[in-house]
Structure 1
Amino acid sequence: MRPYVSRALAASERFALPGSATHPLPLLMYSPSGYFARVVATAIEQSAQPLAGYRAFESEMTDVLGDLAQQGMGMAWLPDSSFVAGRLGELVPVGDGAWDVEVAIVAWRARLNARPAVARLWERIGADALPA
């Protein structure tokens, strides 16, 4: 996951990372109860530079935050998977990696589980998985 803004916002004088007390950045954040909210909090906490921003909008859905970022409403942390099929093409990553977080998803299943639905799901997961 990394922070993104619209091309227009990145080029404007309104946007300068990491923001300041006099010019805080509009942040498009995940709702506090969601997993990605904790991931973003980790990115902000681990950065060498303090981020000065305010919560301009909250949502549990990545698509909503991506759409708002694309409209120039602020900065959103988005997973790389948000950009499949050319979606969100007007967004650019910002921060030179300072606020990026690597996220891994791991799946397990019981070897002895022979239910057809589980087998189909496992095959699908395996087909889409990146090599370790």
Structure 2
Amino acid sequence: MRSPWGSRRPDPGPGPDPDPGHCDCDCDRGSVTAEFATVVPAVLLVLAICLGALQVVGQQVRLTDAAADAARSLARGDSVGRAAGLVQQAVQGASMTPERRGEFVCVNLSAPSSFAAFAAFGLTLRAGSCALGGGL
């Protein structure tokens, strides 16, 4: 049965509320703001970790390329100093270990993470590459 007042409730006037479950007050006022203030730091933390991970992946790619360049340079007969200079241009703070494996000249590189939060946990990136000696 439809109410004669349509979808609007009649004003009950003074006296007890005929619908005690109904609340005209703004009881939840500010709860959205509080929830938002709680969620924002968590979202920012996840975003910062994702951006840091992207930075570390980029550093790993540069380290791998520098290892290949250094191995080719040493295989051509360049000095260790020149190869180390190539590595330092690509990745600051990387350490290089050259070695000979039969006919191959290999270079192993390691560098601490460039993202401070990951470096604090001791994340060290490593890359290696080999090139056929004699410039081939």
TM over 0.5: no
Higher helix share: 2
For the pair shown, which has the larger CA radius of gyration, 1 or 2?
2
> Shorter-chain TM-score: what band?
under 0.3
TM-score after normalising by structure 2: 0.19
TM-score after normalising by structure 1: 0.20
